[in-house]
Amino acid sequence: MQLFRSKNTFILIILFMRLRSCSMLPIAFLFVFSACTPKVQTDLTKTAFIPKPASVTATGDAFELDGSTGIFIQEGADHLESTAQFLAKALGSSAAVEAVTDAPSKGIYLSLDATGQIPAEGNKMTIDSKLIHIEGGDEAGCFYGIQTLLQTLPASIAEGEKLIVPTGAISDAPVYGYRGAMLDVARHFFSVEDVKRFIDFLAEYKMNTLHMHLTDDQGWRIEIKSWPKLTEIGGSTEVGGGEGGFYTQEQYKDIVAYAAANFITIVPEVDMPGHTNAALASYAELNANGKATDLYTGIEVGFSSFDTRKDVTYQFIDDVVREVSELSPGPYFHLGGDESHATKHDDYVYFVNKVQGIVQKYGKQVIGWDEIANADVVENAAVQFWADAENTSLGLEKGAKVLVSPASRAYMDMKYDTTTVLGLKWAGTIEVDHAYDWQPDTVVAKLTKEQVLGVEAPLWSETITNMDELEYMVFPRLPGYAEIGWTKNEDRNWDEYKVRLGKFGKRFEAQGIDFYRSALVPWEE
C-alpha cells in the first residue's frame, strides 16, 4: 500500500504540473481519485479470520495474486497435490500445480514440516511480497492454511482480478482434535448434494467431523444390504409425511470420500434402542410383540424401543454395524442411546453393553449420547454431553471422554429468539452471542481440558426441511462453534469476535447463504 500510495502521489504531481492551467483539470481530479480508490489494506493483523489463528504478525507489504500465480508443492508430498488443486480451483488459477525440490522464489508453495515442530492440523504461513509459503504439520494443516489464505481475499473473485494478500506470518493449530457438526438426515432427508454443501461449510471453518444422524423414528437413511426393507419401508417417509429418501451404499461412500477430500471424517450414527420406529416398521421381528409398527411422521420422542432380549435384535445390529463400519473409515461409530424412555433401565444397560461389544468387534470406538454412561463404558468411548451433567460426570468417572454439545448453547435447531419461525425452543433460545460465549471445558464440574474430546454443534431437523432453512439456522452460529473448537478460550471474546463475524456477512451473501442477520452483530455493508 505504501508503494501504491506513493505511486499515486507521483502521478498526481505530474498531472498537476502538466494540466495546471488547462480545462482538463476536473478530469485529472477524477482520474487521480479513481486511481487512489482501491482500498487495499496491507496489515495482516487487521484481516478478519474465523476461527481466530493462534498468532498473526504483519510486515505491511503486499503479495499480488491473480489467476496466473504459480502454485507449487514439495516434491514427494504427493498427498498435497489434491489440496493444491483445491486452492487452484478456489483462485480460478490457470497455472498447473508443480512439484519442486526447493522452495520457489515466487508464487504459493505448500510443504510439510519435517522437524515435528508443527502439530497435527497446524501450520505456519509466511507471506512476503513474492512468496506465500504454507507449511503444514500434516496435509490437513496445509489445507487449513489454504482456508486461512482464502479469508484474506474478497468474498467473490472476478475472473482475472488482481488481488492483494497482506504480508506477515501466521502460526496456527487447533485446541481440540474433534471439531464437528451433526446433521439429522432422519427427520427430514437431505440429498447427497446438500450434504456436500454442508461439508463445504464445515471445511471453510476448519471443522473436521460430520456426525450423520442416519436413523430415527421417522426414517432409516442408509442402505443395509442384508436388511433391505430398512430403506425400502423405513426410508420411505419423513416428518410431515414427505417422501423421505436414503443413501445407497455407493452414495454414502461418495459422501465419505468428499468429506475426506475436505479433511472431514464422517461419524455415522445408528440411534438405538429408542428412536427406532423406522426399523420397527420395516421388520416385525424386531418388535417385542412380533408386529411391525406403522411408519411415523410426527415429532414426539421416546416411544419406540428394540426388544433388548431377543437374539434377532443383536443379529440385526451386528449386520448393521458391520455394513456401516465397512463404509466408514473413521474411528468412531455412534450408537445413539438417547431418550430410550420406552426401554426399562436394566434392559437399556444390558443392550448398550452388548452393542458396545459389537462396535468394538468391528474395530470402532464408541460414541453415544450422555445416557450411555449408565451402562459400562468401554475403553476409548466418548459420551456426548447434550443435556445431563450427571450422566456426563458418571461417564467421566468410568473413564470416557466427553464430546461437548450442550443443547442450551450448541443446538443449531434452537430458535435464535422467540420470533424465529423455524426451530424448537425446549433448550431455550440461542442468540449468536449465547452460542459463542461459553467454554467447552467448564460445561460439567471437574471436567479437564484433556477429558474433552472436542466440540460438536448438532442440527436436528424436525423443523428444517430444505437447504435454505438449514442455512438460516446454521449461519451465523456455525463459525462460532468452529472457533470454540479451534481457538484457546483466553484468545476469544464476544465483543472482538462479533466485529470479525460482521465482516463475514458479505462472504455468506456471496455464497448464496440466507443467514440470520442478528442485531447483535455489526454487519459490514
Which positions are annotated as active-site residues? 339
| Three-class DSSP category at 212 | strand
Q: Which cell is 352 given? A: 448398550
Segments of 329-472 assigned E as strands? 332-336, 365-369, 382-385, 401-404, 452-459
The mark string for 272-311 relative to ligand TNX (x by CB under 6 A, - otherwise) is -----------------------------x----------
Question: Contacting ligand TNX (CB under 6 A), which of 460, 472, 481, 497?
Answer: 460
Question: Contacting ligand TNX (CB under 6 A), which of 31, 424, 429, 491?
Answer: 424
| Of residues 323 and 462, the one with the C-beta less far from ligand TNX | 462
| Of residues 216 and 223, the one with the C-beta less far from ligand TNX | 216
Evaluate whether 136 touches 112 at the Cβ level (below 8 Å): yes
Least distance from ligand TNX to the Cβ atom of residue 413, Å: 5
How many residues belong to the site for ligand TNX (CB under 6 A)? 10
Question: CB neighbours (10 Å) of residue 121?
Answer: 24
**Which phi and psi angles does 498 have, rounded to 5°?**
-65, -30
369 binds ligand TNX (CB under 6 A): yes
Distance CA 259, CA 523 (A): 30
Least distance from ligand TNX to the Cβ atom of residue 383, Å: 11
Distance CA 220, CA 213 (A): 10
172-199 burial, b for 16+ CB within 10 Å, e for fewer? bbbbbebbbbbbbbbbbbbebeebebbb
| Of residues 87 and 459, the one with the C-beta less far from ligand TNX | 459
Question: DSSP code of 119?
Answer: P
Distance CA 260, CA 116 (A): 23
Least distance from ligand TNX to the Cβ atom of residue 353, Å: 19
**Which phi and psi angles does 414 have, rounded to 5°?**
-80, 145
- Among 234, 106, 98, 246, smallest CA distance to 165 is for 106
Q: Which cell is 214 given? A: 442416519
Least distance from ligand TNX to the Cβ atom of residue 137, Å: 34
Least distance from ligand TNX to the Cβ atom of residue 462, Å: 6
Question: Contacting ligand TNX (CB under 6 A), which of 386, 497, 504, 523?
Answer: 386
227 binds ligand TNX (CB under 6 A): no
Segments of 338-381 assigned E as strands? 365-369
Beta bridge partners of 210: 181, 266
Q: Which cell is 370 given? A: 450422555
| Of residues 20 and 345, the one with the C-beta less far from ligand TNX | 345
| Of residues 223 and 462, the one with the C-beta less far from ligand TNX | 462
Least distance from ligand TNX to the Cβ atom of residue 124, Å: 39
The mark string for 21-60 relative to ligand TNX (x by CB under 6 A, - otherwise) is ----------------------------------------
Q: Which of residues 485-514 bind ligand TNX (CB under 6 A)?
A: none
416 binds ligand TNX (CB under 6 A): no
342 binds ligand TNX (CB under 6 A): no
Question: Contacting ligand TNX (CB under 6 A), which of 339, 388, 456, 471?
Answer: 339
Distance CA 497, CA 424 (A): 26
Distance CA 271, CA 340 (A): 10
Question: Contacting ligand TNX (CB under 6 A), which of 227, 263, 411, 515?
Answer: 411
Question: Contacting ligand TNX (CB under 6 A), which of 413, 431, 456, 471?
Answer: 413
| Of residues 153 and 424, the one with the C-beta less far from ligand TNX | 424
| Of residues 65 and 430, the one with the C-beta less far from ligand TNX | 430
**Which phi and psi angles does 134 have, rounded to 5°?**
-110, 120
| Of residues 171 and 429, the one with the C-beta less far from ligand TNX | 429
Residue written as cell 452471542? 433
Which H or E element spans position 59?
A: strand 55-65
Residues shown for the chain: 525
- 39: exposed, middle or buried (C-beta count within 10 Å: 0-12, 13-18, 19+)? exposed
**Which phi and psi angles does 379 have, rounded to 5°?**
-60, 145
338 binds ligand TNX (CB under 6 A): yes
Task: List residues binding ligand TNX (CB under 6 A).
Answer: 301, 338-339, 369, 386, 411, 413, 424, 460, 462
